[in-house]
Amino acid sequence: MSTPRSQPLLIVEDDLALQKQIKWSLDGFDSVLADDGPSAVLQFRRHSPAVVTMDLGLPPDQDSVSEGFKLLEKLLELDPAVKVIVLTGQNDQSNALRAIRLGAYDFLAKPVDPDVLSLTVERAYRLYELQQENQRLQAIQHPDVLGGLVTRDARMQKLCRTIEKVAPSDATVLLLGESGTGKELLAQGLHDASKRKGRFVAINCAAIPENLLESELFGYEKGAFTGANKTTIGKIETAHGGTLMLDEIGDLPHALQAKLLRFLQERTVERVGGRQEIPIDVRVVGATHQDLKQLIAEGRFREDLYYRLAEIVIEIPPLRERQGDAVLLSHAFLKRYASEQRRPQLALSEDAARLIESYRWPGNVRELQNLMKRAVIMADGDRLTGEDLGLRVPEAALEDAEHVLDLRTVRERAERQAVVTALARADGNIVKASELLGVSRPTLYDLMNRLQIK
């Protein structure tokens, strides 16, 4: 008797009598049926089977064979891990071998022995499950350090390497960046990479009223104030053994800053209304979009607390400064939300990509994420257009985005900027400027002449 499987078996057979016979012989498996290519693809998308049995088609009906190969390629395109067992005629070994070369798991000649078919399907399931388990174990051994962060920008990649280096230590980390740049995602990635066994706990210091924030952070004893009917531990204790993220720490009330500083120094907390000091092992990550040094100058943030928090400072660039990330993230969000809305064919048009590249993104990644979710829901066709996005971008910015990939223009801009900068630093001295640029004087004169620099 076959073991119950989490994923069904798909049986593709145009002969309904034979289809019923195959299903009966494989009654130990949860089966779904299809009698042609389109219905097979539909069932495959709907049920995500681990194993497929399919009739490749019999000569001399070569059109049927051709459609069978197309279906095989389509199924493997949708899920390269699927195990496809091809059923062929007795004299159709050449097509069967071709199917194997295309990626089929095995082939069986008709008429198929039910016991052999059942054994082959069982082995295919076992191989599929072993491969899935292997992938899962590899994912555990080599986790995605930054929790799914998508970037190709050099600054962001360098920032990721910094987080990887810092993660094993207990150093307090301060994340600085505009709202929506992904500070919590990076803090979560830092926690995941640290191998700390405790929880990741985040609290927004700006979202909780000042009179409640102390009890939220440090907890309180029963009877500490009106309504304190039982002893409650705070966020700091909850994060014991893990990571505590203090988001928008620039909004922390001045009275609480002294208590937080004492906790960072002593690594103990005292609940509101309590007298016992409780030792806490926690990695602290602060985050803010504000200029803390400006707040220090204005007397709104303690300088000694800043230096306690700023053992490692990481500045996250805004989305508009990340080379190529806006469109890269757009594709990622589009794929996610299109899948949720069951519109996997939805794609980004060229004019939409240009708009995304040109827009300044004041709300950063959060704004882009919300925009893509709305656009996927509202889009009418199979391509997400600039009109679907509804972004307002100046015409000049659009023209710059359209021509930014022209290599000649890019090279001329870069050369002009370098030559003008070198001449300025050398105060117009051609010899010094050529030395700064690493070229000869005649080459510099040629550049100046070509770029029309006087």
Domains and CATH numbers, the chain: 9-140 (3.40.50.2300), 154-315 (3.40.50.300), 320-403 (1.10.8.60), 407-450 (1.10.10)
Taking 60 as the threshold, does the pLDDT of residue 393 lie above it?
yes
Taking 50 as the threshold, does the pLDDT of residue 144 lie above it?
no
Taking 90 as the threshold, does the pLDDT of residue 263 lie above it?
yes
| CA distances (Å), origin 350, targets 347, 376, 383, 401, 438 | 10, 16, 10, 12, 40
**Residue 285's beta-bridge partner residues?**
173, 245
Taking 70 as the threshold, does the pLDDT of residue 400 lie above it?
no
Write down the pLDDT at residue 283.
96
Greater pLDDT, 413 or 99: 99
Write down the pLDDT at residue 257.
96
Per-residue pLDDT, averaged over 101-113, amounts to: 88
Q: How confident is the model at residue 292 (pLDDT cuts 50, 70, 90)?
A: very high
Each residue of 91-105: pLDDT tens digit? 677 888 888 888 899
Q: How confident is the model at residue 145 (pLDDT cuts 50, 70, 90)?
A: very low
Each residue of 177-197: pLDDT tens digit? 999 999 999 999 999 999 888
Each residue of 228-260: pLDDT tens digit? 899 999 999 999 999 999 999 999 999 999 999
Write down the pLDDT at residue 403.
53
Q: How confident is the model at residue 11 (pLDDT cuts 50, 70, 90)?
A: very high
Q: How confident is the model at residue 398 (pLDDT cuts 50, 70, 90)?
A: low
Instruction: Residue 144: name the closest of 173, 184, 186 by CA.
Output: 186
Taking 70 as the threshold, does the pLDDT of residue 432 lie above it?
yes
Cα–chain-centroid distance for residue 222? Answer: 43
Taking 80 as the threshold, does the pLDDT of residue 142 lie above it?
no
Taking 80 as the threshold, does the pLDDT of residue 13 lie above it?
yes
Per-residue pLDDT, averaged over 325-332, amounts to: 88
The first and second tokens of residue 13, run together, are: 């057979």
Per-residue pLDDT, averaged over 21-28, amounts to: 89
Taking 90 as the threshold, does the pLDDT of residue 299 lie above it?
yes
Per-residue pLDDT, averaged over 300-323, amounts to: 95
How many Cβ atoms sit within 10 Å of the Cβ of residue 93? 12
